Amino acid sequence: MITLLSASAAIDRLTAAIGRYAAWGVLAACVVAAANAIARKLFGLGSNAWLETQWLLFSAVFLLAAPWTLAVNEHIRIDILTGRLSERRRAWLDLAGHVLFLMPVAAVVVWTSLPFALTSLAQNEGSSNFGGLPQWPLKLLIPIAFGLLLLQAMSQIIKTVAVLAGTVRASPGPASPVGSSPNGEPRS
């Protein structure tokens, strides 16, 4: 169990680092969007490559930050019924969710998106927009992100099992809405 828990901690560190680095993509996308707007207005420049760069950056942000968001429990839940359950019961439900919901979804997406992305890479598929970027980096992000999500699911399962087995004290339960608001507000 201890080995598993340290593996889980390593996964958490990895996904958190990836998420934190990816977050800077927001600023980059911001600069690209503003520069694109100004260049287009003032000099009549502007291209689909710039626009697709924003989408590539934004996709990288939300896809690569997803495992980290899961680890810090900020994906929205509807806990109107389960919020009142004991911590143990919620841990059981979480375990079921990880195994029955998250892992199958992540696995199916990895399984179907890998050939999807590799075909695009092999063909060096271009954009359907004039002057756009190659599409394979965007498509390759899908199996990478869902692969990481699968990894994170395993880490979550280890942590939840440890809680149920009493090896560690309960991790923070389902975040209260104050903890994970729709507006990105931190708990205060």
Looking only at residues 144 through 173 of this chain, which bind other proteins when binding is defined by CB under 8 A?
A: none
Angle made by CA atoms 123, 142, 172, in degrees to the nearest 5: 170
Of residues 40 through 79, those in contact with other proteins by CB under 8 A are: 40-41, 46-48, 51-52, 54-55, 58-59, 61-63, 65-66, 68-70, 72, 74-79
Number of residues this chain uses to bind other proteins (CB under 8 A): 85
CB of 113 closer than 8 Å to CB of 139: yes
> Binding segment for other proteins among 7-15, 90-98, 158-166 (CB under 8 A)?
90-98
In angstroms, give the least distance from the CB of 157 to other proteins. 13
Cβ neighbors of 169 (< 8 A, separation 6 or more) are 163
State the angle between helix axes of 48-64 and 136-165 in degrees (0 to 180), rounded to the nearest 10. 10
In the block, which residue shows the tokens 């934004």? 58
Applying the rule CB under 8 A, the residues between 11 and 30 that interact with other proteins are: 19-20, 22-27, 29-30
